[in-house]
C-alpha cells in the first residue's frame, strides 16, 4: 500500500531544530485496520490518525510501533499545530482517553490533559544533567523509563531522556505524556530539554488537576510510505 502523509517535528527548540517526528495520517478505508502496521512501518515513536474534523473539534487515535495509546502529548500537540497551520482553529481533540483541550500562546501550542491518561512511566531522578546524558539506552530491556535531573531547580529547568522498550521505542526525543507525569509529581511548571535538544514546556496546577504540555512545531513535509 502506498500512502502519503504529513510529518512534523514536535517540541523543536527556539531555532526550529531537534524535536520528535510525528506522522499525521488522514484516516480512510485504506488505513482502517492497518493503523498498527502503518505505525510500525513508519518507525516514529508515534503516529496519529485523524478520524474526523467537526468544526473546532478533531477526533484521532494514536499508535506507537508496538501498540495503540489512549493519549500522548507529542501527537496531540503536533496535530493541533498542523491543523491550525492549515486554518483550522481547533479548540479540542477527542482521543480514546477523553477530551484534550487546545490553546496557543504566540508560536507555542499547548494541550491540556489528565496525567492519569499517560502511561505509567518510572520517573528516575539522577543527580545531574551529565548523569542523564551518560545513560545507555540499551540498559533498559523492558518498561517505560523517564530519566531526569534538575538543570536549574529554582528556575524549573529539567534535563530528561525517555526509554520505552514496552512501546517499541528505544529512546524517544520528546515525550509530552511523561512530561505531564513529572509536572504532576513535582507540582510546578517546567521547561524540559529532552533527548538531543527537544524543548517541552509544562503548566501545573489547573483547577481540574489537568496539566498543560506545549511547545513549538515545525512546518510539515510530505512523506510517501510504500
pLDDT tens sequence for the chain (226 residues): 689 999 999 999 999 999 999 999 999 999 999 999 999 999 999 999 999 999 999 999 999 999 999 999 999 999 999 999 999 989 999 999 999 999 999 999 999 989 999 999 999 999 999 999 999 999 999 999 999 999 999 999 999 999 999 999 999 999 999 999 999 999 999 999 999 999 999 999 765 689 999 999 999 999 999 8
Burial class of residue 168 in the structure, from the number of CB atoms within 10 Å of its CB (0-12 exposed, 13-18 middle, 19+ buried): middle
Q: Are residues 178 and 127 in the same domain?
A: yes
Q: Are residues 107 and 143 in the same domain?
A: no
CATH number at residue 169: 3.10.310.10
Stated pTM of the model: 0.96
Q: Are residues 28 and 102 in the same domain?
A: yes
Residue burial 42-79, b: 16+ Cβ < 10 Å; e: rest = bebbbbbbbbeeeeeebbbbbbbbeeebebbbbbbbbb
Q: Are residues 95 and 154 in the same domain?
A: no
Residue 61, domain extent: 3-114+214-225
Amino acid at each position: 500500500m502506498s500512502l502519503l502523509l504529513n510529518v512534523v517535528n514536535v517540541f523543536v527548540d527556539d531555532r526550529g531544530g531537534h524535536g520528535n517526528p510525528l506522522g499525521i495520517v488522514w484516516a480512510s478505508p485504506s488505513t482502517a485496520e492497518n493503523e498498527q502496521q502503518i505505525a510500525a512501518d513508519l518507525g516514529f515513536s508515534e503516529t496519529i490518525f485523524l478520524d474526523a474534523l467537526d468544526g473546532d473539534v478533531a477526533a484521532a487515535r494514536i499508535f506507537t510501533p508496538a501498540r495503540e495509546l489512549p493519549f500522548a502529548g507529542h501527537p496531540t500537540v503536533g496535530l493541533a499545530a498542523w491543523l491550525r497551520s492549515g486554518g483550522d482553529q481547533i479548540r479540542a481533540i477527542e482521543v480514546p482517553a477523553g477530551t484534550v483541550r487546545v490553546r496557543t500562546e504566540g508560536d507555542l501550542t499547548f494541550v491540556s490533559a489528565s496525567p492519569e491518561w499517560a502511561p505509567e512511566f518510572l520517573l528516575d531522578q539522577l543527580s545531574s544533567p551529565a548523569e542523564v546524558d551518560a545513560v545507555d539506552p540499551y540498559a533498559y530491556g523492558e518498561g517505560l523509563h523517564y530519566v531526569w535531573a534538575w538543570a536549574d531547580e529554582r528556575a524549573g529547568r529539567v534535563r530528561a531522556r525517555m526509554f520505552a522498550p514496552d512501546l517499541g521505542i528505544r529512546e524517544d526525543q520528546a515525550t509530552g505524556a511523561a512530561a505531564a507525569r513529572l509536572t504532576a509529581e513535582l507540582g510546578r511548571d517546567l521547561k524540559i530539554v529532552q533527548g538531543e535538544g527537544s524543548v517541552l514546556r509544562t503548566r501545573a496546577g489547573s483547577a481540574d488537576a489537568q496539566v498543560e504540555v506545549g511547545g513549538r512545531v515545525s512546518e510539515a513535509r510530505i512523506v510517501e510510505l510504500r
